[in-house]
Amino acid sequence: MSNFLPFEAELRRMLARVCAGPAEVDDVVQETYYKVLQSESLAHVRGPRGFLVRTAKNIVIDRMRRDAIVSIESMANLEEFDVPDTGPTPERVALARAELRWVFGLIANLPDRCKEVFMSRRVYGLSQAETAEALAISEGIVEKEVMRGMGLISEMIARVGVHDTPRAKAVRSKSSAKKRHVND
């Protein structure tokens, strides 16, 4: 909730333009915080400002529908609540997930100990000492296995090529679609 508090003053200024008075602004702010607190999870919220403003806008629209009397000025001021969504597009999320699967596919081809060390260091973010302790090996072996893993992955990429990554395939399909569109 503390991520939303810095935006309350701005939210109140926006609401003052569409609400009937300070009492209604207070009501909408309170209802907005209530809705935010009732959310099962806020993990999906990338921009707390946009989420707070969008929630308040939805509450104001619901109130306007309920009241059925809307001033033209309130409707014009309602446009101020349009905050651009800064989150990634569904296409970008799908592409990132496909690339992650591709990388994990490369890692899966590493020898067992090398794979364990590489995953601990590069994926889970453990320090060299933590990895050594968790896997009951020396820090020197951890360093050696990470370097070995990087070398093997580089070799696999050199063999397979970066052109087979999901991002490269998406770029190729977009460029071929543009070429077809230009030729039509």
- Residue 95 sits in the same domain as residue 179: yes
Q: Give this prediction's pTM.
A: 0.45
With the C-alpha atoms ordered 149, 151, 156, 157, is the resulting torsion angle positive or negative? positive
Determine what percent of the chain is predicted with pLDDT higher than 70.
76
Mean pLDDT taken over the chain: 80
> At which residue do the structure tokens 């050696």 appear?
144
Confidence band, pLDDT 50/70/90 cuts, at residue 136: very high
- My answer on whether 96 and 163 are in the same domain is yes
The helix (run of H) or strand (run of E) holding residue 2 is none
- State pLDDT tens for residues 2-36: 566 777 888 888 888 888 888 988 998 899 888 88
Distances (CA, A) of 14 to 77, 96, 97: 8, 36, 37
Q: Are residues 77 and 102 in the same domain?
A: no
- Cβ(25)–Cβ(15) below 8 Å: yes
Per the structure, the complete domain to which residue 37 belongs is given by 5-81
* Count of domains forming the chain: 2
Residue after which a domain boundary falls, among 29, 58, 81 = 81
Domain boundary (64, 81, 98) is at 81
pLDDT at 170: 62
- Asked which of 81, 102, 121 is the last residue of a domain, the reply is 81
Query: What's the average model confidence in pLDDT over 65-93?
Result: 70
Q: Cα angle at 93 between 95 and 102, to 5 degrees? A: 40
